[in-house]
Chains A and B, each alone.
Chain A
């Protein structure tokens, strides 16, 4: 049985987890991850938006364009999950909200460190790992 005592290196989930089910407006995002790009939207007034939308949530602009993030950000909040959502997930895993340098937030898991090293303010960089259905998920690793 897995317990929280001791050291636990965080690793990406196996490719066998249920893949994302894309929506009408997210296709450019998932195309990007397949190419190793972390894409987000920016409106005509300069507001960065994620997740994909049809109207800027900050100003209401309908003029949104896809841009490519440099993939760098800072951990805003984090958790470590020890009871998996579904058996396909391997624990522990560490979903986090990342403040991206471009000015938007994204939810993704942290990998490449021990659970004891997680901290708000930690600098992280994106990396990509494939799952079923031809999808590629972004994860973040401390830098």
Chain B
């Protein structure tokens, strides 16, 4: 595989996560509605599933984080245990890895799950529209927030509806063939099918938007020398970081929103600083990435992320996704299980971990569908410019 380490960015001496492995991953059943489940029942299922996948027992766990982690500590009898209500998704993975690297914990469980919360279907999901006096009265919710970012990019660079629909068709077709996806068998979708679906928030058609669903998922990280009997090939955390500009959905999501540095990276490229840091820690460049498990709340976000992470130049993301690059057999296959659009958006936070889980499955080589042959480096992401944050994580099969 490609191993083009960048000469001017040597790997961190003594990689901090050298002894950290991702040992277990699990997705519970995902569905639009999980009848009879609560957030607690589905989170427990997720936690136990990931421990089983790792070949570990609840008594091996000495760190827990994620939604309901306090409840998990109590209900699973993990205590006394290190527990944190970390920001979910990739930040939780990085925090867990740091816990292990610094010797605080040997086995850390990250679990998330949600069920029975989104019941008032005449409105958009409650987590898409936090109350804010300067946003809520204009009927804003996530699709409109991300649309304002996409529209600005279209204005600046001429990005087209067809380019964005190509992203949606690619990801939804990945889900179409994935038996575990909620929308398995719903396709295949052409670009015209995407563009023919009803408009939600211009320029986003319905099929360019994430679904709302319910489900749980969990990840177990462990200190390699303390858990000799892992069930699966270990996957390593090569690097990762997070970019945040402020609270999601409370301030206007302008492309040019910046921190105090007038020359700083704008919100339109949130994630760039984090990606540079992650690649630096890993001693890799975008050219080393074999599979892109990018967070796909809306079609445009994939185009934006390829630019933000410097896989292509600014304004080139629309063309970048058009020639098969992101599809099956392409150079950078994207969101291979169907993502938030077709696999699941398992509640408020599960989906933030599910890109990582898919990255692990790709590197194990165990994906039933859309397995990228010989994948050695996966890039997983969370969030997006409409939400003023973007997290990145680089996973690999080689011990760093």
Point out residues on A near B: beta carbons under 8 Å. 3-4, 13, 17-23, 26, 51, 57-60, 76-87, 89, 93, 95-97, 105-109, 115, 120, 131, 135, 137
* CA distance in complex: A3, B104 (Å): 56
**Contact for B139 among A19, A22, A78, A95, CB less than 8 A:** A95
* CA distance in complex: A23, B152 (Å): 29
* CA distance in complex: A103, B141 (Å): 26
* CA distance in complex: A52, B275 (Å): 32
Query: Are B139 and A109 interface neighbours, CB within 8 A?
Result: yes
Query: Are B199 and A77 interface neighbours, CB within 8 A?
Result: no
CB distance from B62 to the nearest CB of A (A): 41
* CA distance in complex: A78, B202 (Å): 8
**Contact for A4 among B140, B148, B199, CB less than 8 A:** B199
- Whether A77 contacts B201 in the complex (CB less than 8 A), given A85-B123, A131-B137, comes out as no
Which applies to chain A's interface (DSSP): helix, strand, loop or mixed?
A: loop
* CA distance in complex: A108, B131 (Å): 15
Which residues of chain B from 117 to 162 have a CB within 8 Å of any chain A CB?
Answer: 122-124, 128-129, 131, 133-141, 143-144, 147-149, 151-152, 155
Asked whether B198 is an interface residue with its Cβ less than 8 Å from the other chain, the reply is yes
Query: Are B139 and A89 interface neighbours, CB within 8 A?
Result: yes
- Closest A residue to B147 by CB, please name it: A79
* CA distance in complex: A111, B184 (Å): 41
Residue numbers in B under 8 Å from A96 (CB-CB): 148
Q: 0/1 per residue, B251-292, Cβ < 8 Å to A?
A: 111110000100000000000000000000000000000000
Residue numbers in A under 8 Å from B254 (CB-CB): 76-77, 97, 105
Query: Are A87 and B137 interface neighbours, CB within 8 A?
Result: no
Assuming A79-B201, A79-B202, A108-B138, what are 10 further A-B pairs, CB within 8 angstroms?
A20-B133, A77-B254, A78-B148, A79-B144, A79-B203, A81-B200, A82-B201, A83-B143, A85-B141, A105-B252
* CA distance in complex: A77, B254 (Å): 8
Query: Are A57 and B260 interface neighbours, CB within 8 A?
Result: yes
